[in-house]
């Protein structure tokens, strides 16, 4: 069972920080993809939940929760020049780890941009400081002060991460299908110009997870196909989205941050209480949650076009996530508990009996229709490709493998976001683990099939206006 495919070679030490669903899914592929031996690896994790998997792979597991007070003392003996820290944990500051790694010559990879425990739910902080926008701006400020440093790939999983590559692939495929004479862009300005030429107004990270497990969700239990703590944390952050230049409506509870790139806004409500309409080819129309994600900020920032210093083009971008049905039931129960997490939690993996994760990007605004590009990965395919994975975790792992391969080829790139990496190299590394990759045109719009039972304000001249996604 499994796919063995060499992406590079690494002889240094590797610390895997966190060993939940993503860490367990990633570790065996490090051996196959980079020739890493178990003796090179140390796992540092806050619990022993993955101890059996670690033992079966012959890797030592150190149970030690990292805090702001102890992280340097714990990690310093384990990492030095030429080593690699792979962070797939929660509640550990990404910026603190980058600050730790770069002076020591340690490569770094993170699937998120995380704060220390408590910041997401600190009621004494203003909502803007609990946002991904703020976390990203803090990381970018550090990068400006350290332009030449060991590579630190941030927010590089499936989403955020691979979906930034999907956007570029989708733009090129749209241009080809429309028979446009287009040279592959090589700069962010050229990518933005292509998106503008294709009349892309809105981009959804459109994901529908249909994986089902037995037994089904029980009362008092939160189940998910990836980290429960990670999902609840991001779901309780303010809902965030990139804000396009075409938008004429301003949501009543929307806030600008007043500093930084200004590519995104936030809504003064949690993402898991914010509903949006979206579409994937297999699911069709669906209601989703507008949960904050790093790509909702980095993609619109990357695709911003300026003329004479003024912003003339930027798409609206946000996540539109429908998790597994049992996870949705978990969210409803969580809301009824006033956002206090259930006493039991379960990650769905070996108990999944059917389903897939349909993860892609939905580009809207072109006169021909909407265009979705992404991965359809079924649970059976995921199990055949890699052990200790479900469809969701393997899509994340694919993005991590691509970033590791990229970082080994570019070890002095400093802090790097997914949008800035070579999308072709990333896709080459990730593609074997993504199941079916497809691009599909559709005729769906946010106004299609809308009920007339209740009045709803709308601009008939612009079906892509954000108002028509009816958050809340």
Structural domain includes residue 400: no
pLDDT at 467: 39
Q: Is the pLDDT of residue 107 over 50?
A: yes
The band of 472, judged by pLDDT with boundaries at 50, 70 and 90, is very low
What's the pTM value of the predicted model, to 2 decimals?
A: 0.95
Which residues lie below 8 Å from residue 141, measured CB to CB, with a gap of 6+? none
Structural domain includes residue 430: yes
Task: Kindly report the CATH number assigned to the domain that includes residue 107.
Answer: 3.40.50.720
CB 148 within 8 A of CB 415: no
Number of domains in the chain: 2
Lowest mean pLDDT among 142-156, 371-385, 456-470: 456-470
Kindly report the average pLDDT of the chain as a whole number: 94
From 153, 173, 208, give the residue that closes a domain: 153
The band of 470, judged by pLDDT with boundaries at 50, 70 and 90, is very low
Give mean pLDDT, residues 206-213: 98
pLDDT at 6: 87
Residues 129 and 240 in one domain: no
Residues 118 and 177 in one domain: no
Residues 179 and 142 in one domain: no
Q: Which of 258, 249, 334 is nearest to 289 (CA)?
A: 334
Residues 142 and 255 in one domain: no
Residues 80 and 175 in one domain: no
CB 150 within 8 A of CB 105: yes
Residues 167 and 147 in one domain: no
From 123, 153, 183, give the residue that closes a domain: 153
Residues 237 and 180 in one domain: yes
Structural domain includes residue 324: yes
Residues 211 and 143 in one domain: no
Q: Is the pLDDT of residue 260 over 70?
A: yes
The band of 4, judged by pLDDT with boundaries at 50, 70 and 90, is low
Structural domain includes residue 403: no
pLDDT at 464: 47
From 103, 128, 153, give the residue that closes a domain: 153
Residues 262 and 232 in one domain: yes
Residues 262 and 363 in one domain: yes
Residues 220 and 340 in one domain: yes
The band of 3, judged by pLDDT with boundaries at 50, 70 and 90, is low
Q: Is the pLDDT of residue 331 over 60?
A: yes
Q: Is the pLDDT of residue 303 over 70?
A: yes
Q: Which two tokens stand for residue 243?
A: 């804000």
Q: Is the pLDDT of residue 121 over 60?
A: yes
Structural domain includes residue 74: yes
Show the domain range for 310.
Answer: 162-389+423-469
Structural domain includes residue 348: yes
Give mean pLDDT, residues 437-456: 86
How many angstroms from the chain centroid is the CA of residue 165?
Answer: 12
Distance CA 340, CA 294 (A): 24
Q: Is the pLDDT of residue 2 over 70?
A: no
Residues 259 and 378 in one domain: yes
Structural domain includes residue 394: no
3-state secondary structure the chain: CCCCCCCCCCCCCEEEECCCHHHHHHHHHHHHHHCCCHHHEEEEECCCCCHHHHHHHCCCEEECCCCCCCHHHHHHHHCCCCCEEEECCCCCCHHHHHHHHHHHCCEEEECCCCCCCCHHHCCCCCHHHHCHHHHHHHHHHHHHHCCCCCCEECCCECCCEHHHHHHHHHHHHHHHHCCCCCCCCCCHHHHHHHHHHCCCCEEEEEEEECCEECCCCCCCEEEECCCHHHHHHHHHCEEEEECCCCCCCCCCCEECCCCCCCCEEEEEEEHHHCEEEEEECCCEEEEEECCCCCHHHHHHHHCCEEECCEEEECCEEEEEEECCHHHHHHHHHHHHCCCCCCCEEEECCCCEEECEEEEEEEEECCCCCEEEEEEEEEHHHHHHHCCCCCHHHHHHHHHHHHHHHHHHHCCCCCEECHHHCCHHHHHHHHHHHCCEEEEEEECCCCCCCCCCCCCCCCCCCCCCCHHHHCCC
Residue percentage of the chain with pLDDT more than 90 = 92
Residue percentage of the chain with pLDDT more than 70 = 96
Lowest mean pLDDT among 4-18, 147-161, 310-324: 4-18
Structural domain includes residue 4: no
Q: Which residue has the higher pLDDT, 233 or 469?
A: 233
Q: Is the pLDDT of residue 270 over 80?
A: yes
Q: Is the pLDDT of residue 343 over 50?
A: yes
pLDDT at 459: 54
pLDDT at 68: 97
Task: Kindly report the CATH number assigned to the domain that includes residue 324.
Answer: 3.30.360.30
């Amino acid at each position: 069972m499994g796919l063995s495919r060499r992406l590079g070679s690494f002889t240094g030490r590797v610390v895997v920080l966190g060993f939940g669903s993503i860490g367990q899914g990633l570790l065996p592929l490090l051996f196959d993809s980079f020739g890493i031996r178990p003796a090179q690896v140390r796992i540092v994790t806050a619990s022993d939940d993955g101890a059996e998997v670690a033992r079966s792979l012959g890797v030592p597991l150190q149970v030690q929760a990292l805090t702001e007070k102890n992280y340097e003392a714990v990690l310093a003996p384990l990492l030095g020049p030429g080593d690699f820290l792979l962070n797939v944990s929660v509640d550990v500051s990404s910026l603190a780890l980058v600050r730790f790694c770069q002076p020591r010559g340690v490569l770094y990879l993170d699937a998120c941009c995380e704060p220390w425990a408590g910041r997401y739910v600190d009621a004494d902080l203003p909502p803007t400081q609990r946002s991904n926008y703020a976390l990203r701006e803090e990381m970018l400020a550090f990068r400006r002060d350290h332009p030449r440093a060991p590579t630190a790939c941030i927010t590089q999983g499936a989403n955020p991460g691979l979906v930034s590559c999907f956007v570029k692939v989708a733009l090129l495929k749209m241009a080809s299908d429309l028979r446009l004479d287009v040279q592959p862009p090589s700069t962010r300005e050229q990518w933005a110009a292509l998106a503008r030429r294709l009349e892309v107004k809105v981009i959804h990270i459109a994901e529908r997870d249909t994986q089902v497990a037995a037994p089904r969700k029980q009362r008092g239990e939160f189940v998910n196909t990836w980290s429960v703590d990670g999902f609840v944390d991001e779901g309780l952050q303010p809902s965030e989205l990139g804000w396009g230049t075409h938008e004429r409506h301003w949501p009543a509870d929307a806030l600008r941050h007043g500093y930084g790139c200004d590519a995104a806004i936030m809504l003064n409500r949690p993402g898991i209480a914010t509903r949006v309409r979206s579409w994937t080819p297999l699911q069709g129309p669906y209601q989703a949650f507008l949960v904050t994600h790093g790509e909702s900020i980095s993609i619109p920032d990357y695709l911003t076009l300026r003329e004479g210093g003024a912003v003339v083009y930027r798409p609206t971008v946000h996540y539109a996530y429908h998790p597994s049905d049992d996870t949705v039931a978990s969210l409803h129960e969580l809301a009824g508990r006033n956002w206090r997490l259930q006493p039991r939690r379960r990650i769905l993996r070996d108990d999944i009996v059917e389903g897939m994760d349909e993860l892609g990007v939905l580009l809207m605004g072109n006169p021909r229709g909407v265009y979705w590009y992404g991965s359809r990965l079924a649970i059976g395919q995921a199990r055949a490709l890699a052990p200790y994975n479900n469809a969701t975790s393997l899509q994340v792992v694919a993005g991590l493998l691509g970033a590791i391969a990229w970082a080994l080829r570019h070890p002095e790139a400093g802090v790097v976001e997914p949008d800035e990496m070579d999308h072709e190299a990333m896709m080459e590394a990730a593609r074997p683990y993504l199941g079916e990759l497809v691009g599909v045109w559709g005729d769906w719009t946010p106004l299609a099939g809308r009920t007339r039972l209740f009045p709803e304000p709308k601009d008939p001249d612009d079906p892509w206006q954000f108002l028509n996604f009816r958050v809340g």
